[in-house]
Chain A
Amino acid sequence: AQKITQTQPGMFVQEKEAVTLDCTYDTSDQSYGLFWYKQPSSGEMIFLIYQGSYDEQNATEGRYSLNFQKARKSANLVISASQLGDSAMYFCAMREEEHTGTASKLTFGTGTRLQVTL
């Protein structure tokens, strides 16, 4: 079974509008971390936002917020006031507790390509 599922291969959004990128995850661990990364065409993975499984508040970083619904095992990324420079691939990733203290392996989804239009 997929540990990270991103069901939207591609999304379009108009400039200045908000967009939600979906991510669901599967884990039996109680303690885990969820991450979102942006990958422009240049290839570099840029860290955007982090949510811990015990965090009660949804994470926010500037125009990025994470809509964390633990019972549904979803961690959707919300980008507000989209800009042309937001056009890129977006990846959801998870680190599970079983890897704590050993390798902090990230498990990634297949990504969502976001295109911001005028």
Chain B
Amino acid sequence: ETGVTQSPTHLIKTRGQQVTLRCSSQSGHNTVSWYQQALGQGPQFIFQYYREEENGRGNFPPRFSGLQFPNYSSELNVNALELDDSALYLCASSHFTTGPTDTQYFGPGTRLTVL
């Protein structure tokens, strides 16, 4: 069974640029969630994708957008990067359920630095 993978591992961008982060979900999972983890904080929910559509969003501006592909992999796009976007971006996959029991399994993260 293949776990959640993310690419790239590290990324350095400058303010105003755009970035795309990628995530491959664990086999058998159909849902992908993205989280932002600033230094010294717990992860914050950005959004979730299910059936190639956004299925819920946290308190993040529209310049954070995403995609999910038919193979359940996903991309997180951030436009007009700001210094505060520097963080660890975590992708988590799960199997969609209608109860609060689905366990999310995380990838190793992408560390984004905005200069």
Q: Top 10 nearest A-B pairs by Cβ distance? A: A103-B56, A108-B42, A45-B106, A33-B100, A103-B48, A43-B109, A44-B108, A95-B100, A105-B45, A101-B98
Complex contact A52–B106 (CB within 8 A): no
Q: Which residues of B contact A108 (CB under 8 A)?
A: 42-44
B51-92 contacts to A (CB < 8 Å): 55-58, 88, 90, 92
14 contacts between A and B (CB under 8 A): A33-B99, A52-B100, A91-B42, A100-B99, A100-B100, A103-B48, A103-B55, A103-B56, A104-B31, A104-B104, A106-B35, A107-B45, A110-B40, A110-B41
Complex contact B90–A104 (CB within 8 A): no
Complex contact B92–A45 (CB within 8 A): yes
A111 to B43, CA, bound (A): 10
Q: Using CB atoms and an 8 Å cutoff, list the residues of chain A in contact with chain B.
A: 4, 31-33, 35, 37, 42-47, 50, 52-53, 91, 93, 95-97, 99-111
Inter-chain contact total with CB atoms closer than 8 Å: 87
| Given A32-B100, A35-B103, A103-B55, CB of A43 within 8 Å of CB of B108 | yes
